[in-house]
Chains A and B, each alone.
Chain A
Amino acid sequence: MKQKILQLTLGVVTSIGGFLEVGSIATSAQAGASFAYQLIWPVVLGTIVLIFLVEMSGRLAAASKLTVSGAMRDRFGFDYFVVPLVTLSVVIYLVLAAEVGGAAFALQLVTGISYRWWAVPVALLVWLILWAGPFSAVERWVPLVGLVTVVFLVGALELNLDWGALAHGLIPTMPSHDGLHYWFLVVNILGATIAPYLMYFYSSGAVEGKWDESYIGINRVIATIGMSFGALLAVAVLVVCARVFEPAGMRMEGYDQIALMLTGALGSWGFYLFAASLFVGCLGACLEIALAVAYMTAQGLGWRWGQDEEPRKVPRFVLVYTVLLALAPWLIVLGVSPLQVTSMSMALTAATLPVAIIPFIVLMNDPVYVGKHTNGWIGNCVVLFTIVMACILAVVTIPLQLLGGG
């Protein structure tokens, strides 16, 4: 039983690294600054879908001892598997570039040295942690260090909150102004929240942790608490920005504006704790993303894999994350705006969600793989509905946004 409670840290790690990272921070900040509390509902909707998806990946691992990627290749064959493999790898690479940008920007905040100089060192640090550290170390330290992100909750509670308006934000409403920007942010929030790489990371962690059917119960708890914690933090960011930026009419167009969010309530502590939270969140996300792509590739191609294994025993697995991290920093080094990279990567994630998720849902309803633990109809419906909606919105808003809206 103690083992299972310790596994709670897997959920929290996945959550902090996978949830409160630059995508969530940036999209929640933009949402709060531009639309006050109106956009709380996509955060909640995205989180509900994410909880379902993460719980499903854990259940798959526990029931079949297979990871998501392994089961996908198994069930659909290489000819279909290669499509999500390539699509997701490209999109996830962009997300990784955004996270590297976020961590690099946090270092700029603290040191004054341009984020473009920090991108390569950040990628190198991530690589070193993966190369030298076992999975259990990552699992143990990231949540502890990640607790610094609680500062967002503190910041939110410091303000006099209009709970009524907050509750109102839980209900989807039509935008009061600037429709294109509103729906683009909805897409971004959904893409930031429902990140497919979390499923690959979580199921691989479950298999490395040797889960069996007895874990199915605790898996639900882990998925729910872990992802909800991240959602709470994202909403806290949104609420703070709604109170601090929206009344002044400040639209968030860069991380240097977002960095001000806690400085009113918490002074200089607010500045440095924001930088620390941004850094830790992004670093955790980089670790998870790099591992997720390596898992996805190695498991899909049948190679040996495992973060706990010595690198010499799993050379191709190590090569994947090495190459990915070597390529990651260059968009940022070349000077592409970190917020733009973040925005685009979140929107593209939303647009490609059906590619990753629909086959997964088919898998989760197949008793060959999950035995008697197939999906309930509620889970299927909520996930499918949201995925399709996110994709349609993304396909419509991305070109319009690129052509100079908002």
Chain B
Amino acid sequence: MHLVRDLLDKQLIDVNWQKMGRVDGLLMEARPGTQPHIATICVGGTVLTRRLPGFVGRWSTAVLRRFGPRHGAPFRIPWSRVLSVDAMIRVDVDSDSSDAMASSRWVRDRIIDRIPGAS
């Protein structure tokens, strides 16, 4: 499997077939004597801002750490929970009840619900 081509930046789908972000980063694990392999998929938070170049990247990472939901900590999915790798990557996570959708819920609660006619 070609990591960058087949995994990175692909759409993630949860166990209920709902979108839950993209593969923003991959954590590899390398132990002596074994092949390096993927340990974790990282979603959101500072993983993305750190990919931005130079000053923009450093500044946005800092802002996210100060003010972001969960202080910019990315949502981590262990490789064992990946169900299928295709055009989209399906994982065994219920995004609605997990931290993956934390910022979405924050926007919903703090902003969307305050506007009349939200539901």
Whether the complex brings A and B within 8 Å at their CB atoms is answered yes
Q: Which residues of A contact B (CB under 8 A)?
A: 64-66, 70, 73-74, 77-79, 81-82, 131-132, 301-305, 310-312, 315-316, 318-319, 322
A132 to B8, CA, bound (A): 36
**B118 within 8 Å of A (CB atoms):** yes
Partner of A302, one of B11, B53, B111: B11
* B107 CB contacts on chain A under 8 angstroms: 315-316, 319
Is A302 a contact of B22 with CB atoms below 8 Å?
yes
Add 12 more A-B contacts to A65-B87, A81-B9, A310-B119 (CB < 8 A).
A70-B11, A74-B9, A74-B10, A77-B9, A78-B24, A79-B51, A302-B20, A304-B104, A312-B112, A316-B104, A318-B112, A319-B111
* B18 CB contacts on chain A under 8 angstroms: 304
Is A77 a contact of B119 with CB atoms below 8 Å?
no
Is A312 a contact of B103 with CB atoms below 8 Å?
no
Partner of A77, one of B4, B20, B117: B4
* B117 CB contacts on chain A under 8 angstroms: 131-132
A319 to B105, CA, bound (A): 12
Is B12 a contact of A302 with CB atoms below 8 Å?
yes
Is A315 a contact of B104 with CB atoms below 8 Å?
yes
Specify the main secondary structure of chain A where it touches its partner.
helix
A303 to B24, CA, bound (A): 12
Partner of B112, one of A64, A70, A73, A319: A319
Say how far B7's CB is from chain A's closest CB, in angstroms: 11
* B112 CB contacts on chain A under 8 angstroms: 311-312, 315, 318-319
* A82 CB contacts on chain B under 8 angstroms: 51-52
Within 8 A of A (CB), among B43-63: 43, 48, 51-53
Q: Closest B-chain residue to A319, C-beta based?
A: B107
Say how far B93's CB is from chain A's closest CB, in angstroms: 14
**B1 within 8 Å of A (CB atoms):** no
* A301 CB contacts on chain B under 8 angstroms: 21-22, 48
Some 25 contacts from A to B, beta carbons below 8 A apart, are A65-B87, A70-B11, A73-B22, A74-B11, A77-B8, A78-B22, A78-B48, A79-B53, A82-B51, A82-B52, A131-B117, A301-B22, A302-B20, A303-B21, A304-B18, A304-B104, A311-B118, A312-B112, A315-B105, A315-B107, A315-B112, A316-B104, A316-B107, A319-B107, A319-B111
Say how far A73's CB is from chain B's closest CB, in angstroms: 5
* A318 CB contacts on chain B under 8 angstroms: 112
What are the interface flags for B32-43 relative to A under an 8 Å C-beta threshold, 1 for contact and 0 otherwise?
Answer: 000000000001
A160 to B61, CA, bound (A): 64
**B81 within 8 Å of A (CB atoms):** no
**B19 within 8 Å of A (CB atoms):** yes
Most buried by A among B20, B22, B115: B22
A64 to B86, CA, bound (A): 12
A79 to B43, CA, bound (A): 15
Partner of B21, one of A66, A79, A302, A310: A302
Within 8 A of A (CB), among B64-119: 87, 103-105, 107-108, 111-113, 115, 117-119
A82 to B119, CA, bound (A): 32
Q: Closest A-chain residue to B101, C-beta based?
A: A304
Q: Lowest 4 CB-CB distances: which A-B pairs, in order? A: A302-B22, A315-B108, A302-B21, A315-B107
Is A312 a contact of B22 with CB atoms below 8 Å?
no
